Amino acid sequence: MDYRQLIEYAMDARNNSYAPYSGYNVGAALLCDGGEVICGSNIENASYPATVCAERCAIFSAVAKGKKNFKAIAIAGGNHLETDNLTDYAYPCGICRQVMREFTDPDEFIVIVARSIDDYKEFTLSELLPNSFGPENL
């Protein structure tokens, strides 16, 4: 799959976010083995620790559907739903990086942070989470 298409899914997923406190709407699109894309959106909560990031929403939704092998994730976030041209990149938080690590090979899994379908950065999870701790360490 073309990463631009994955970014489009992430941009669209922003429309489903629930961000009444921060106003920061994030969408994520997770590419599974076999080509299926599962999207997630951030879901805030008045009790801030109960908030779920878009990345974890997508991964947990995929796992709940029996999917556990992932190739890439695209993430797009920003304060204005009215535009597809975001002003900054929405990098995954530490908890999301660790959840990604649970289900992927960090040297192979691609994390894309995008401001638009033409303006994005691409990393391996190892680059974003060096010297990580995963299931094989237990």
Q: Which residues are catalytic?
A: 55
- Cα–Cα dist 54/76, whole Å: 9
Cα(7)–Cα(4) distance, integer angstroms: 5
Find out whether 138 and 99 touch, Cβ atoms under 8 Å: no
Q: 36: helix, coil or strand?
A: coil
CB 58 within 8 A of CB 42: no
125: how many CB neighbours lie within 10 A of its CB? 23
Phi first, then psi: what are they for 129, rounded to 5°?
-140, 70
Q: What is the identity of the amino acid at 79?
A: N
